[in-house]
Amino acid sequence: MEYKNLVVTIEDQIAIIKFNRPNVLNALNIETLLELEKILDELSNNDAVRVVILTGEGKAFVAGADISQMSKFNPQEARAFAQLGHRVLSKLENLDRPVIAAINGYALGGGCEIALACDLRIIAETAKIGQPEVNLGIIPGFGGTQRLARLCGAGVAKELIYTGDMISADEAYRIGLVNKVVPQDKLLDSAKEIAQKILQKGPGAIRLTKTVINRGLDSPLETAKELEIETFALCFASGEPQEGMKAFLEKRKPNWIK
């Protein structure tokens, strides 16, 4: 796969998507969002890929939207841009396999919002993250006001968005915004290690887990519990539990691919 603003590699059932506009700190423009959407559509139909990792080239993961483009927007164009961002990040969030954000540098504005749409977030100890949109007189437009509040709580989300502060990797970990802080030179390897752990598990079970968690978060608790019950039962129609439990009893690794 070849793109202008992104680099995509696939190895060992892991797709690595790298934002590749380092001269502008990987800022998001319309073209980059459309390329990301195309990649996600392709990956959704590629059963050979079971885990996706997102990262950035150079000093940034994604340092926000492309202000040179956004500064020319009228309200209608701004709405269309936000709608595009929401559409693409919803596809990222709902991709039926795990997505790991390997945050190598600045993850600001739209970059933070991309990370929030991923399942797991690993951050380099030197990286910074935040939602500084109010410094420009706007609010987060790609889901930041909603996903950040759901992940870290409304109070934390309001503080980060109201102040526009960039926070350190350690602070992001403290508030639950990221899962792990690692040395810069170990970032991608750490993301791959987690991906490899996931690859050892039942692929159907992983996909169903993601679906149940995502849908359950936006459902009343009793509805979400019923969803879990029905999905648990559905697992037994796939053949995976039979293989997994047989392997456990025989003290061997499961053979998921049959």
Please choose, from the candidates 53, 69, 66, 67, the residue with its C-alpha nearest in 3D space to the C-alpha of residue 26: 66
What's the whole-number mean pLDDT along residues 205-222?
95
Q: Given pLDDT bands bounded at 50, 70 and 90, which one contains residue 258? A: low
**From CA 92, how far away is CA 157, in angstroms rounded?**
21
CA distance 209 to 225: 13
The HSE-up count of residue 99 (CA atoms within 13 Å, CB side) is 23
Q: For residue 220, what are its two tokens?
A: 């009343």
Domain segments of the chain as ranges: 6-199, 203-249
Percent of the chain's residues with pLDDT above 70: 99
Instruction: Report how far Cα 87 is from the mean position of its chain's Cα atoms.
Output: 14
pLDDT above 70 (res 1):
no
Candidate list 11, 31, 77, 113, residue with the active-site label: 113
- The pTM is what? 0.95
> Do 228 and 217 touch, CB atoms closer than 8 A?
no
- Active-site option among 11, 133, 193, 230: 133
pLDDT range class, residue 257, cuts 50, 70, 90? confident
- CATH homologous superfamily for the domain 203-249: Lyase 2-enoyl-coa Hydratase, Chain  A, domain 2 (1.10.12.10)
Q: How far apart are CA 189 and CA 245, in angstroms?
A: 30
Give catalytic status of residue 57 as yes or no.
no
Q: Taken in order 210, 215, 220, 223, is the CA torsion positive or negative? A: negative
State pLDDT tens for residues 44-87.
999 999 999 999 999 999 999 999 999 999 999 999 999 999 99
Q: Give 136-163 as a DSSP string.
A: GT----SSHHHHHHHHH-HHHHHHHHHH
Of 145, 162, 155, 157, nearest in space to 82 by CA: 145
Mean pLDDT taken over the chain: 96
Mean pLDDT to the nearest integer, 2-23: 95
Is residue 2 very low, low, confident or very high in pLDDT (cuts 50, 70, 90)?
Answer: confident
User: CA angle at residue 124 from 122 to 130, to 5 degrees?
Assistant: 80
If you average pLDDT over residues 238-258, what whole number do you get? Answer: 92
- Examine the residue annotation and report whether 113 is marked as an active-site residue of this protein: yes
Name the DSSP letter for residue 28.
Answer: B
Query: What b-and-e string marks burial along 147-178, b requiring 16 or more CB atoms within 10 Å of the CB?
Result: bbbebbeeebbeebbeeeebbbbebbbebebb
Nearest to 143 by CA among 102, 101, 90: 90
**6-199 has which fold?**
2-enoyl-CoA Hydratase; Chain A, domain 1 (3.90.226)
Query: Tokens 């040179």 label which residue?
Result: 68
With a CB cutoff of 8 Å and minimum separation 6, the contacts of 109 are: 63, 64, 65, 131, 132, 133, 140, 144
